[in-house]
Amino acid sequence: MSRILAIDYGKKRTGIAVTDPMQIIASGLTTVATHELSVFLEKYLNTEDVETIVIGEPKQMDYTDSELGGVINAFAKALQEKYPAITIERVDERFTSKMAFQTMIDSGLSKSKRRNKALVDEIAATIILQTYMDFSCPYMF
């Protein structure tokens, strides 16, 4: 089977998460500088079999696009054009950064490790991926 990749796109950093080939487990992969994202994705997609890319969709509380909405929409469109064989999906990413930070607290990470914004972005991407998997799973346990 193929992997599913998730992207938590940010102005400075982008968190990335991925499933195992059986699409059972969502795991944080890395965080890359956003200006290096295209290069990272090209290398990754040339070495791994990815069938779907899930991109976080930033929304305001009233469901309108956030300030990055237009940039991320353009990114998603360009990605679809460059990789037409890969399905591009969108997932509401409201509160994922707060959930990621709370996950770090709940797991007992020290204050100094919780200041690592790259780790927050990676965990947020994992939450986006897990949300997608929870709602797209063809079977229930």
Q: How do residues 3-39 score in pLDDT, each as one tens digit?
A: 999 999 999 999 999 999 999 999 999 999 999 999 9
Cβ burial, residue 100 (10 Å; 0-12/13-18/19+): buried
Nearest residue to 88 (alpha-carbon basis) of 74, 76, 105: 76
Whole-angstrom distance, CA of residue 10 vs CA of residue 103: 19
Mean pLDDT in the chain? 86
Q: How do residues 110-131 score in pLDDT, each as one tens digit?
A: 777 666 677 788 888 999 999 9
